[in-house]
Amino acid sequence: FAQAAPFKIGLILPMTGGQATTGRQIEAAVRLWIAQNGDTVAGRKVQLIVKDDTSLPDVTRRVAQELVVNDKVDVLAGFGITPSALAVAPIATQSKTPQVVMAAATSSITEASPYIVRSSFTLPQAAVAMGDWAPKNNIKTVVTLVTDYGPGIDAEKYFSERFLFNGGKVLDKLRVPLRNPDFAPFLQKVRDLKPDALFVFVPSGAGAAVMKQFGERGMDKAGIRLIGTGDVTDDDQLNDMGEVALGVVTSHHYSTAHPSAANKKFVDEFMKANKGLRPNFMAVGGYDGMRVIYEALKKTGGKGGGDALLAGMKGQIFESPRGPVFIDAQTRDIVQNIYLRKVEKKDGQLWNLEFDVLKDVKDPGKSK
C-alpha cells in the first residue's frame, strides 16, 4: 500500500535581524523535542521545514503562503513577534491550517483566527501580577517604559490599570520604537522624574541594552528600582547583565531556574545540545508547542487534517518545564502559573529565582 505523505510542520522564525535570539531559542527547543520524542507520530513521519522571516511581517506572510500552497504543510508554527503572527492569521483561516504561536504574546492574537493556538503567554497574563506586587513592596510611583507595539501596549495598560487600582501613581508612560531603539533619552527622563520604580517591557533580546544604560546612568544608585515582566531579565542574556541586574523583580511564566524535575531535564538536555546556551521563555514556548502538535496528531491516529488537529489541540493538559498548563478550549490560549522572581547570584551565575506564584492564570485580556 502507498506510504502516507510526511506530516509537515512549517516553522517560521526570525533567524536573523533584531529578533534572532528568539529564532535561535525556538529552533533549538523544537529540535530537542524531536530528538527526545522521535520523528514518527502514530506511524506518520514528521518533517520540519524551517524558514527565516527576518521578523518582517511581509516576509512572514509570503513564506507562510509558500509553505501552505507549495509545500502543503499540515501546521504553521513559530512567529517571533506579534506583527508576524497577525500577518499569517488570514492564511491560517482561509486554508484551515492550525497556526501554533510559540512566541508572540499580544493578547488579541488568538482572536485574529479560529485556527490560532498559543503556547507562549500573553503580556496581560504576566503584567497584572506585577501591578499587585509593586504597591505592597514600597513602590508607590512608577514610570512605564515599553516597546511601542502590541505587547508593549498590553503590558503598559494591564500593569498600569492594576497598579492604579492598588493605589499607585503612574508619573509618565514612555514608548520606544521596536526597530533600533535608543533608550538613553527615555532613561534620562525617568531619572528626572525620580519614580520609586521603572516598569519595563522590551521584547526578548533587548533587555541587556536597557539594563546596561540603566546602570550607566546610575539610576539604581539614585534609588530607582527596575521592575517589569520577565522579558527584560531574559535568561538568554541575564548571566551577562552584571551587578545592575541583581535584585530586579519581574513577573513571568518561565525561569530557567524553575525548580522541578521536568524543568531540570529540559534545561540539562537543552544546554547539552546547544553548547551551554540557557533555554529562555521562548524555548519553552517552542518545546510546548511541539507537544501540542504531536499530541493532536496522535489523537487523529496520524491522519491529521486542519479541523481535527485543531480539535485535538484544544483542552490539552500537561506538565510543561514551566509548571502545569492547559490549552483553554474557548480562547486557544495557554493557562499557566505566573511567578514572581528576583535576580540573584547563585554558584557565581545570575538567575531569576522564583519566590511567589499565582496559579492557573488565564489571559486577563479575554475577560472583558
Residue ranges in contact with ligand DHB by CB under 6 A? 22, 81-82, 103-106, 150-151, 203-204, 231
**Coil, strand, or helix at residue 352?**
strand
Shortest approach of ligand DHB to residue 282 CB, angstroms? 7
Residue whose C-alpha cell reads 525561569 in the numeric block: 255
**Residue nearer to ligand DHB on the CB measure, 7 or 158:** 158
Shortest approach of ligand DHB to residue 144 CB, angstroms? 15
For residue 337, the surrounding DSSP H or E stretch is: strand 334-346
C-alpha cell at 50: 524551517
Could you give the CA distance from residue 28 to residue 53 in angstroms, rounded to a whole number?
Answer: 17
Pairing of strands 323-327, 317-320: antiparallel
**Residue nearer to ligand DHB on the CB measure, 93 or 108:** 108
Which residues have a Cβ under 8 Å from the Cβ of 248 and sit 6 or more positions away?
211, 225, 226, 227, 228, 232, 233, 342, 343
Shortest approach of ligand DHB to residue 221 CB, angstroms? 28
Residue nearest to ligand DHB (CB): 203
Going by C-alpha positions, the residue among 103, 144, 108, 115 that lies closest to residue 127 is 144
Q: Where are the alpha helices (DSSP H) in 38-149?
A: 57-69, 82-95, 123-133
Which residues have a Cβ under 8 Å from the Cβ of 219 and sit 6 or more positions away?
187, 190, 191, 198, 226
Which residues have a Cβ under 8 Å from the Cβ of 269 and sit 6 or more positions away?
32, 36
What's the angle, vertex CA 321, arms to CA 82 and CA 33, rounded to 5? 75
**Coil, strand, or helix at residue 225?**
strand
**Residue nearer to ligand DHB on the CB measure, 203 or 279:** 203
Shortest approach of ligand DHB to residue 121 CB, angstroms? 8
**Residue nearer to ligand DHB on the CB measure, 106 or 233:** 106
Shortest approach of ligand DHB to residue 151 CB, angstroms? 4
For residue 159, the surrounding DSSP H or E stretch is: helix 150-165
**Residue nearer to ligand DHB on the CB measure, 201 or 294:** 201
User: What DSSP character marks residue 174?
Assistant: E
Shortest approach of ligand DHB to residue 90 CB, angstroms? 18
Shortest approach of ligand DHB to residue 161 CB, angstroms? 19
Q: What's the Cα-to-Cα distance from 336 to each of 155, 204, 246, 327, rounded to whole Å? A: 17, 19, 26, 9
Shortest approach of ligand DHB to residue 304 CB, angstroms? 28
**Residue nearer to ligand DHB on the CB measure, 57 or 306:** 57
Shortest approach of ligand DHB to residue 249 CB, angstroms? 17
**Residue nearer to ligand DHB on the CB measure, 196 or 231:** 231
Q: What is the 3-state secondary structure (H, E, C) of 109-122?
A: HHHCCCCEEECCCC
**Residue nearer to ligand DHB on the CB measure, 28 or 297:** 28
User: What DSSP character marks residue 16?
Assistant: S
**Residue nearer to ligand DHB on the CB measure, 7 or 159:** 159
